[in-house]
Chains A and B, each alone.
Chain A
Amino acid sequence: MTDLAPAYSPFFGCMGAASAIVFASFGAAYGTAKSGIGIASMAVMKPDLIMKSIIPVVMAGILAIYGLVVAALIAQGLDEAPTYDLYDGFCDFAAGLSVGFCGVAAGFAIGVVGDAGVRGTAQQPKLFVGMVLILIFGEVLGLYGLIIALILNTAH
């Protein structure tokens, strides 16, 4: 047990894995629930638009998959203290935080835009393309978190 690989090094790696999946799940849950409310409300007026309006829900689910991928990569790379040093631990912790908080932010964006978008599309069908474009920009925020998380995780 040295100063560079103390026994508590895996704590930060485990916390990174947990942060990745937990915060990405919060974002995905918010996106799913908020869009779901919008879809359920507009389905009463336009039942045939339900399947097209599932798009925000799917994009929110993809955020949870980003978190799942990073958490699985971190969990597979975990080990006990001298093999897994403090550098590995903090890299994995940073990876988990980056994909996690980016997932929360993207999930909030997708949820609010999805809710307003499906309600607007039900009243004005030409808005559908615009809603999808805005949702893509929101999804890309989660992707940025995934990119940085992968860079950090493969750095050791």
Chain B
Amino acid sequence: MGMYDASRGKGSYAYGCYAAYIVALIVFISVGLFYMFTGRGSEFDFGWVLENISSYTWACMGVGIAISFSVLGAAWGMFITGASIVGAGVKAPRIKTKNLVSVIFCEAVAIYGIIIAIILVQNIDDTTPEDWITNYNTYIFNGYALFFAGLLTGMCNLACGICVGIVGSGAALADAQNGELFVRILVIEIFGSAIGLFGVIIAVLLGNNRKISSS
């Protein structure tokens, strides 16, 4: 019997996930049926949930997701490429300084996240109850816009960071074998980096000047 017996306990995590999904589905359907059969079907209202979650919740969650998922993508890319740089550098220590460029590309992804988070957070401020009556639709819309601007930044940067990390890993390994290859494989990393930039562009389009404030 080896130290890692692949067939033992392999399915338990998957079964746990399926069980959780099925339990959640059953709870959701039975709550809906309960409302329907007691004559309160119109109260099972997704739109009521969307409107009554405070706009501040939406906006602040957007800011949080923007920075946290961007940094997650940057860190993920960094450890993928860093492990390869250090591993390949055992036999070719000359690669260590040049391949830091790949790590810096991953850091740029985190910088995109912090820029968007700062832009989004400037829009959140105090409001008075009178302003909520006159600007209700505007504040609701701005809450959604800030949430999705942050969410799309976080997710695009997550994808971009992992992509740049994987390509950087390949670049380090190729560089260790032949020193001329690094610059040409860096071109691929630049294409990968553009993905995070597209996310920043759309986040600025969506989330710029969407103020939830009285001033």
Q: Which residues of A pack against B, CB within 8 Å? A: 1, 6-8, 10-11, 14-15, 17-18, 21-22, 25-26, 28-30, 32-33, 35-37, 39-41, 43-44, 47, 50-51, 54, 57-58, 60-61, 64-65, 67-68, 71-72, 75-76, 78-82, 84
Write out the residue numbers on chain B whose beta carbons fall within 8 Å of the beta carbon of A82: 137
B11 to chain A, nearest CB (A): 26
Rounded to whole angstroms, the CA-CA distance of A4 and B68 in the bound complex is 36
Rounded to whole angstroms, the CA-CA distance of A72 and B203 in the bound complex is 10
> In the complex, which residue of chain A has the Cβ closest to the Cβ of B188?
A36
Write out the residue numbers on chain A whose beta carbons fall within 8 Å of the beta carbon of B36: none
Interface size class of B (residues with CB under 8 A): 35 or more
Asked if B180 is at the interface (CB within 8 A of a chain A CB), the reply is: yes
Q: Is the Cβ of A43 less than 8 Å from the Cβ of B184?
A: yes
Rounded to whole angstroms, the CA-CA distance of A118 and B79 in the bound complex is 26
Rounded to whole angstroms, the CA-CA distance of A125 and B5 in the bound complex is 43
Identify whether the interface residues of A are mostly helix, strand, loop, or mixed. Answer: helix
Rounded to whole angstroms, the CA-CA distance of A51 and B186 in the bound complex is 12
Rounded to whole angstroms, the CA-CA distance of A79 and B185 in the bound complex is 43
Q: Is the Cβ of A40 less than 8 Å from the Cβ of B192?
A: no
> In the complex, which residue of chain B has the Cβ closest to the Cβ of A79?
B141
Write out the residue numbers on chain B whose beta carbons fall within 8 Å of the beta carbon of A84: 141
Q: Is the Cβ of B151 less than 8 Å from the Cβ of A36?
A: no
Q: Is the Cβ of B151 less than 8 Å from the Cβ of A18?
A: yes
Rounded to whole angstroms, the CA-CA distance of A61 and B69 in the bound complex is 21
Q: Is the Cβ of B170 less than 8 Å from the Cβ of A29?
A: no
Rounded to whole angstroms, the CA-CA distance of A18 and B198 in the bound complex is 12
CB proximity to A under 8 Å, residues B178-215: 178, 180-181, 184-185, 187-189, 191-192, 194-195, 198-199, 201-202, 205-206
A105 to chain B, nearest CB (A): 15
Write out the residue numbers on chain A whose beta carbons fall within 8 Å of the beta carbon of B189: 36
With known contacts A8-B47, A14-B144, A81-B137, A28–B174 Cβ distance under 8 A:
no
B199 to chain A, nearest CB (A): 6
With known contacts A14-B206, A32-B167, A33-B163, A22–B192 Cβ distance under 8 A:
no
Rounded to whole angstroms, the CA-CA distance of A50 and B147 in the bound complex is 41
A120 to chain B, nearest CB (A): 17
Partner of A78, one of B159, B178, B206: B206
With known contacts A17-B152, A25-B155, A67-B198, A36–B170 Cβ distance under 8 A:
yes
